[in-house]
Amino acid sequence: MAKGAKGYNIKTYLKGQTIFKEGDPGNLAYLIRSGSVEIYKVMNNKKIILERLKPGEIFGEMSIISKEPRSAFAAANEYTELVVINQKDLEVSINKSLPIVQALANLLIKRLRHTSEMIREHPSNNIFLSICNVLYLLHENMSVPNKEGKALLSESKEHMLFSEACHVLKNTLSLTQIEIDGIMQYLLELGLIEVKQVKIAPMVIKKVISIPEVDKFIERTTEYAKDWKPEKGSFIQDLEFIDIAEFSKMIASTPDDVIQKFVSKEIPIELFYLHKAGAIAWADQQNSSSDTDAS
């Protein structure tokens, strides 16, 4: 890796190339210098996109903070340059900063650890029903005034502000906006909620959410919760390929045995594929190493 600005290492990835996998040890964080990165999980052979990140954004920092394995996959959406940040770099940067910045950084780290614990504690199969219950409670109390005498979520008993509802859901259930959006879309498709643009002042138009049949909402959502699965939503893509490790699990074998069966043609060679971007990157690396050795 070539040395980048301020002595940090810069690493490049081709489109579709994996940066890290779920379960990998997490001793590095990354800052996107150029390009973009997709954070996703794989459930039931489906790719569930959690976040799409752009230049200037950092990812992978939670594993450094929590000392736990990666909780998701990360891959390049296009040709991408990443600034590699290790734990020592992070600590040195914090220690060199002003005392107030150090205090804020340490507070942020504590909060991130706390949030991570909360996320691990809440069962994923209850997210749908949890969101529905919070939406119902918000609808029932949305015109309750706060300390300033203003309504918390709406000036009307007919709808609540979408942004405020999402803010409460994030803080209450420790969810990401993408998780919330996915379930909101599912509730829209079921006709259990309505989302529209409403003029709430002469020059102000806001996105609002309403529950058409409040008295039947809990009963209906309880029924639909039985069929809801975490992979429902618009941020889902079918995986066309699986790796050898996953394939070996399917046939109750090991990756080494699978490779041997390919060699002996017990498994048809037509089933064997290489990830194009990853293969090109590996070949380029091998060619570069060969040129270096030759020189």
Are the CB atoms for 218 and 207 separated by under 8 Å? Answer: no
Per domain, the residue ranges of the chain are 2-91, 124-236, 244-294
Q: How much of the chain is in helix, strand and coil states, percent to nearest 5?
A: 45, 25, 30
Residue type, 166: C
Neighbours of 119 (CB within 10 A): 15
Which pLDDT value is given to residue 33?
95
Same fold, 2-91 and 124-236: no
pTM: predicted TM-score of the whole model, two decimal places: 0.44
How big is the chain, counted in residues? 295
What CA–CA distance (Å, rounded) separates 52 from 80? 13
Please give the class, per CATH, of domain 2-91. mainly beta
Q: What pLDDT does 103 receive? A: 74
Provide the CATH number for the domain formed by 124-236 in this structure.
1.10.10
Give me the pLDDT at residue 42, please.
77
**Torsion angle (degrees, nearest 10) of CA 247, 252, 254, 255:** -10
pLDDT at 84: 92
Number of H helices, E strands in the chain: 10, 13
Give mean pLDDT in consecutive 10-residue pieces for the chain, a chain of 295 residues: 59 93 87 93 72 88 76 91 85 74 67 54 63 84 47 54 83 74 86 85 80 89 76 50 75 87 85 70 75 63
